[in-house]
Amino acid sequence: MRLFRLLPAAVAAALTLAAPALSADRKPLVLDTTTGRPVQIPAADTLTPPALKVTGITGSTQCLQVDTTGAVSGTGSACAGGGGTIGGSTGATDERLIRADGTGGATIQAGADLTLSDGGVLGFPDDVRQTFNPGSNAAGLNVGSIAGDPGTPSNGDLWYDSTANELTARINGASVALGAGGGGGTIVVNSQSGTSYTVVSGDQGKLVAFTNAANVAVTLPQATGAFGSGWYAYFLNTGGGIVTITPTTSTIGGLINHKLLNGGAVLVVSDGTNYLVVPHIAFYGGTSAGYSLSRPDGTATGGNQRSANSVDLQTSRSAATQVTSADYAFAAGRRNTASNTYAVAMGDTNTASGVGSLAVGSSNTASGTYSTALGDGVTTSGGYSLTVGQSFTNAGSYSVAVGRSHASIGDQSAVFGRFGTTHGTEGALVLGAGSAGTSSAGSSQMRTTVLWSFTSGATASRLTANNGAASTTNIMNLANNSAMMFEAKCVVRNNSSANANTYTIGPSLITRGANAASTAMSAGNPAVVAGPTTGTALTLAADPTFTADTTNGGFNVSYTPPVGNNTAMYAVCVITGVETRP
């Protein structure tokens, strides 16, 4: 059977196709080859039409076009977009994007260097800057977000970590937080409550805070690779123990580890080989509770509460009391105690317990009011006194002692050298020369003492170091079993007339045996030689005399003013002696 042709045999350059007539049941008609009459195709038959051929178009391969009336005609040229060609370099790379080129974009080219892979990867050419301009309604570029970090990031990757709320980049094998949200440059805190922690590269730029009350061991990987040059992190100890940061192989601050005491903080920076440290000073308290580098906790770790307006710059102590426990006190170093107002203790194991006292060095004590103790193992217990040196006590008030191993220093005295002593008397100047084979102070020394009296009567007057009644502390006394060669110079003056006599005594020798009662002038009382006078010579009832005081064990220096005297008389004697004792 043949298809029923509804069109004439000859078709010109244009051809109009019309739909074939259908029977009532909409089945196509065919011509019966015997009768030539049109009949319907039975339901079981298959219609196989021949290929459609449009005649009247000759000369070349052409594209067909259909006009608005349904007429089909040739275009005169092969099919191509806009009549152009799809071109590009021979053997163009697969996956390159095509682009419009030429006037009005009429030409489609495949030579663009942008690529789009089957997997959706968009590739840009090298050495070309890409610009993503933001607008009023949208950003120019959004890198997208992921919870945490990608599984296998590469150097140069950039993403937003939606868990940590931070923009992250892969730099030198490490995932580096470029910034965190919710605060304009706030630092991400990595809080650790355990007793051990190993730092990860992702801690870069974060504050790693340790809160455990016990000691914490922190392992810091070697300063290479992901922890290479420029890697940094902050570390803070807010717990009660000691946080020890120990790098693997590398050093930290030039040491094998770095310790953070309670309240301590440090910035750690890698230089690609080792770690540098920038310590941070933290102060606790305030004007009402004092300032300190350690958080007060009542133990030897943090110490007791500091007093108002005091400053404690110590991070090590062996007792909770080694702090600034008085107002306006100051302490620096370790194991020092400043326990009185305005007291200052600096160094190692010093105590400043007097008001306004100062103790500097090692194991010194300044307990006197406004006293000073400098050196190693010295004590200043007298008020307003200064002690400098090693291993001795200055108990005198208004006294100065410099040197080593001095003893029994009296008020208003000055002792220098080694193994010097005033034997507890006032107003003495001592130069100690050593111990003469023993450990006794005063065994080889020179001593000068000033004795004086002020009277307006006519009775005998005793000269002492303070014009008081004679005692063991205000005369020039001796130690048991000692001897002194001495000289003396005296002046007696009438304060009303300004007339004065002078006297010279000695040299002579005074000794003392096993006790004060054995004190004696070995060659009898020394001669007293009158010297020059000023004005009219005074007629004293008795010139100065030097005898042994067997009650107090030293010198008895006395004189008697003129008979009937009722004016102020002032007498001064300076005794200088060289003494020795076992």
Burial class (CB in 10 A: 0-12, 13-18, 19+), 68: exposed
Nearest to 365 by CA among 346, 385, 380: 380
User: What pLDDT score does 83 carry?
Assistant: 45
Please state the domain count of the chain.
5
Q: What is the DSSP letter of 214?
A: S
Would you report the helix, strand and coil content of the chain in percent, each value rounded to 5? 5, 40, 55
CATH code where residue 545 lies = 2.60.40
Whether residues 545 and 465 fall in one domain: yes
Residue 532 lies in a domain: yes
User: What pLDDT score does 183 carry?
Assistant: 44
Residue 106 lies in a domain: no
Residue 291 lies in a domain: no
CA 74 to chain centroid, in Å, comes to 89
Residue 171 lies in a domain: yes
Residue 203, phi then psi, degrees to nearest 5 = -80, -5
Per-residue pLDDT of the chain (582 residues; tens, 9 = 90+): 343 333 344 433 344 444 444 444 555 565 666 766 766 666 555 555 555 566 667 667 777 777 777 777 777 777 655 444 444 444 556 667 666 666 665 556 655 577 778 777 777 788 888 888 888 888 878 888 898 889 888 898 888 888 877 788 888 787 877 765 544 457 899 999 999 999 999 999 999 999 999 999 999 999 999 999 999 999 998 887 889 999 999 999 998 998 887 777 899 999 999 999 987 666 666 545 678 887 777 889 888 988 988 999 998 999 999 999 999 999 999 999 999 999 999 999 999 999 999 999 999 999 999 999 999 999 999 999 999 999 999 999 999 999 999 999 999 999 999 999 999 999 999 999 876 566 688 889 999 999 999 999 999 999 999 999 999 999 999 999 999 999 999 999 999 888 999 999 999 999 999 999 999 998 889 999 999 999 899 999 999 999 999 999 999 999 999 999 999 999 999 999 999 988
β-strands 189-192, 444-455 pairing: unpaired
Whether residues 350 and 461 fall in one domain: no
d(CA 550, CA 138): 109
Using CA atoms, how far residue 402 sits from 289, 381, 473, in Å, is 37, 15, 21
Residue 376 lies in a domain: yes
User: What pLDDT score does 436 carry?
Assistant: 57
Whether residues 364 and 451 fall in one domain: no
Residue 129, phi then psi, degrees to nearest 5 = -80, 130
Instruction: Print the domain residue range for 323.
Output: 298-403
Whether residues 199 and 316 fall in one domain: no
Write down the pTM of the prediction.
0.58
CA dihedral sign, ordered 546, 549, 554, 556: negative
Whether residues 470 and 576 fall in one domain: yes
Residue 80 lies in a domain: yes
| Residue tagged 């296998």 (tokens) | 152
**Which one of 69, 87, 105 terminates a domain?**
87
Using CA atoms, how far residue 12 sits from 6, 9, 15, 58, in Å, is 16, 10, 7, 11
pLDDT, tens digit, 9 for 90 and up, residues 378-388: 999 999 999 99
Report the residue count for the chain: 582
Whether residues 310 and 355 fall in one domain: yes
